[in-house]
Amino acid sequence: VKRLKRDYISLADLESEKPLTREKRLQLNAYGAALNAVNREEENYNVAHRTKMFNDELWEQEWYLQDTRTNKALPKLDLNVLPLYRLGITGRGIRIAVLDDGLEYTHDDLRNNYDATISYDINEGDYDPFPRYDTSGNPT
């Protein structure tokens, strides 16, 4: 098996390097004590408090952003974002790149949040990351 080096892609030329101004969530009262002072056991807030914190109507349905266990014997799957939002860390200005072999941006879960101006298909060398179903068996 011979490994071939692919052409270099200059990130400076990509549309994805232009800053966006769109935000999904708005903080309401995110300033508080230092992160070390936040007691992780203190995360037992009621549903009303959590839903008032953001303008995201789907907050309660999003996975791993908060501890949603109904039984403490279950593993804790929590990214601990609530203490960060209380400190004013919202993710503003952060850009995320997902490396995959295809993005089905027409899917119901992605259609309304997909931004074509920050997408690039490295495999095909174009700005359309739609999966190639003939060679890829894992569209996302």
For residue 18, give both structure tokens: 């232009």
Burial of 16: CB neighbours in 10 Å, binned 0-12, 13-18, 19+:
middle
Q: pLDDT averaged over the chain?
A: 69
- Whole-number pLDDT of residue 26: 45
Q: Which residue has the higher pLDDT, 13 or 92?
A: 92
Q: Which residue has the higher pLDDT, 136 or 83?
A: 83
Task: Compute the average pLDDT of residues 120-137.
Answer: 76
Percent of the chain past pLDDT 70, that is, above it, reads: 52
Per residue in 13-46, pLDDT tens? Answer: 556 555 555 555 544 444 444 344 444 444 444 4
Is residue 89 over pLDDT 80? Answer: yes
Is residue 1 over pLDDT 50? Answer: yes
- Whole-number pLDDT of residue 9: 56
- Whole-number pLDDT of residue 81: 86
Contact criterion met (CB below 8 Å) for 65 and 81: yes
Cross-strand bridge partners of residue 41? none
- Whole-number pLDDT of residue 46: 42
Ranges of H-type helices in 27-80? 47-53
HSE-up of 125 (CA within 13 Å, CB side)? 4
